[in-house]
């Protein structure tokens, strides 16, 4: 069977490695045409430490990629313990495909027909599959900045919702050596750069920020359930069937509340490799495994509706709390109900002084 993987990011690169372990050698294509300094798609590089076994599975050592741990983080005014850290994602992606030939171009429609199976691992682009049945994407702006502290306190890692109007949040992820990823994601926000500038200026008595690079992006927060179909079968000119099947963010394996997609895309690729070549079992396993994402998406839809202006319902608060617990973030339940996430802040505090 002839297989191609379009996209050598987190999902495609990892899948190539997993299939290689099964003796399957797909052809891999990636134009890597990203307008970023790191040559990768815009990303904060934050992951939970539970990513470790996924790397071990393909013989990689988590500690070779660890940039900085975030044992505690600021969630608006609340400090909570976390298992999160930042990883050198570009290095990880390079190492996934180190021993594999990657065609440094996108898979063309002419070439597509050469393959019995084409994996769409093109992330937000979803270049080969038909559109999601109900897509939802969150525009982002992220900067890599060098931070100089004037006092004794370092800039703390954090996620902030109360300085962002609308449905969105700002993140501060340390990358080591006083370099940080600071970014904003928000639906319906047109002034992401102004909001970032305001964040810097609010902290200007304690820190100076020097921008190293800046990139716009977008993350799919639709959830897998609303990102179907996961696969389509086509008939080629020769009359033989061809399957196009999605893996990773192309089929929505991203936490809708937080935009966290690295670990879920690794898991999605693992499900693909474990169920290969049974696409139905793959689809039902992905839908079952990430069923909670559907609920988070439904909360986002609620907030985006007129009705959502009435504030979070009990079920929305419960989903925020569950989200934090799932990520291993040590927020007490009552505080989580009150504070957790930009979204609650969004409806409870429309006047954020912006």
Ligand X SMILES: Cc1cc2nc3c(=O)[nH]c(=O)nc-3n(C[C@H](O)[C@H](O)[C@H](O)COP(=O)(O)OP(=O)(O)OC[C@H]3O[C@@H](n4cnc5c(N)ncnc54)[C@H](O)[C@@H]3O)c2cc1C
Least distance in angstroms from the C-beta of 223 to ligand X: 12
When the beta carbons of 29 and 65 are compared against ligand X, the nearer one is 29
Least distance in angstroms from the C-beta of 205 to ligand X: 27
When the beta carbons of 163 and 263 are compared against ligand X, the nearer one is 263
User: Roughly how many angstroms between the first and final C-alpha of the chain, as a whole number?
Assistant: 56
Per CB under 6 A, residues contacting ligand X are: 6-12, 29-32, 41-47, 106-107, 121-125, 127, 140, 142, 183, 217-219, 248-250, 254, 259-262, 265
Which residues have C-beta within 8 Å of that of residue 113, sequence separation ≥ 6? 236, 237, 242
Beta-bridge partners for 92: none
When the beta carbons of 246 and 308 are compared against ligand X, the nearer one is 246
When the beta carbons of 44 and 224 are compared against ligand X, the nearer one is 44
Tell me which residue has tokens 């815009």: 42
Least distance in angstroms from the C-beta of 296 to ligand X: 14
Angstrom distance (rounded) from CA 244 to CA 353: 48
User: What per-residue string of b and e applies to 315-332 under the rule 16 or more CB within 10 Å gives b?
Assistant: ebbbbbbbbbeebebebe
In this structure, how many other beta carbons lie within 10 angstroms of the beta carbon of residue 268? 32
Least distance in angstroms from the C-beta of 48 to ligand X: 9
CA-based nearest residue to 143, from 219, 44, 261:
44
Least distance in angstroms from the C-beta of 283 to ligand X: 16
Least distance in angstroms from the C-beta of 26 to ligand X: 12
When the beta carbons of 272 and 317 are compared against ligand X, the nearer one is 272
When the beta carbons of 192 and 336 are compared against ligand X, the nearer one is 192
Angstrom distance (rounded) from CA 161 to CA 346: 7
Most distant CA atoms of the chain, gap in Å:
70
Which residues have C-beta within 8 Å of that of residue 347, sequence separation ≥ 6? 303, 308, 309, 310, 311, 312
């Amino acid at each position: 069977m002839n297989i191609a993987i379009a996209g050598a990011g987190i999902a495609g690169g990892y899948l190539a490695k997993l299939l290689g372990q099964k003796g399957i050698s797909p052809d891999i294509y990636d134009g890597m045409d990203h307008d970023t300094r790191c040559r990768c798609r815009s990303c904060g590089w934050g992951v939970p430490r539970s990513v470790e076994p996924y790397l071990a599975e393909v013989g990689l050592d988590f500690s070779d990629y660890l940039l900085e741990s975030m044992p505690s983080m600021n969630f608006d005014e609340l400090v909570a313990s976390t298992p999160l850290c930042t990883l050198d994602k570009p290095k990880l992606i390079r190492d996934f495909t180190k021993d594999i030939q990657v065609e440094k171009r996108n898979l063309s429609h002419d070439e597509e027909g050469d393959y019995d199976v084409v994996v769409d691992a093109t992330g937000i682009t979803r270049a080969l599959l038909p559109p999601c049945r109900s897509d939802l994407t969150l525009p982002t702006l992220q900067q890599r900045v060098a931070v100089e502290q004037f006092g004794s306190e370092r800039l703390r890692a954090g996620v902030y919702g109360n300085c962002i109007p609308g449905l969105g949040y700002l993140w501060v992820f340390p990358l080591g050596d006083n370099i940080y990823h600071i970014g904003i994601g928000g639906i319906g926000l047109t002034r992401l750069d102004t909001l970032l500038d305001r964040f810097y200026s609010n902290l200007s008595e304690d820190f100076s920020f020097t921008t190293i690079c800046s990139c716009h992006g977008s993350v799919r927060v639709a959830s897998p359930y609303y990102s179907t179909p996961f696969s389509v079968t086509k008939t080629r000119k020769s009359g033989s069937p061809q399957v196009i099947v999605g893996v990773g963010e192309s089929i929505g394996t991203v936490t809708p509340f937080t935009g966290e997609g690295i670990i879920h895309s690794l898991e999605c690729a693992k499900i693909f490799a474990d169920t290969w070549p049974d696409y139905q079992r793959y689809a039902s396993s992905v839908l079952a495994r990430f069923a909670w994402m559907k609920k988070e998406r439904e909360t986002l839809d609620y907030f985006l509706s007129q009705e959502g202006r009435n504030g979070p319902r009990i079920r929305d608060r419960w989903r925020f709390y569950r989200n934090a617990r799932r990520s291993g973030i040590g927020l007490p339940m009552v505080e989580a109900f009150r504070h957790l996430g930009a979204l609650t802040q969004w409806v409870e505090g429309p006047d954020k002084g912006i």
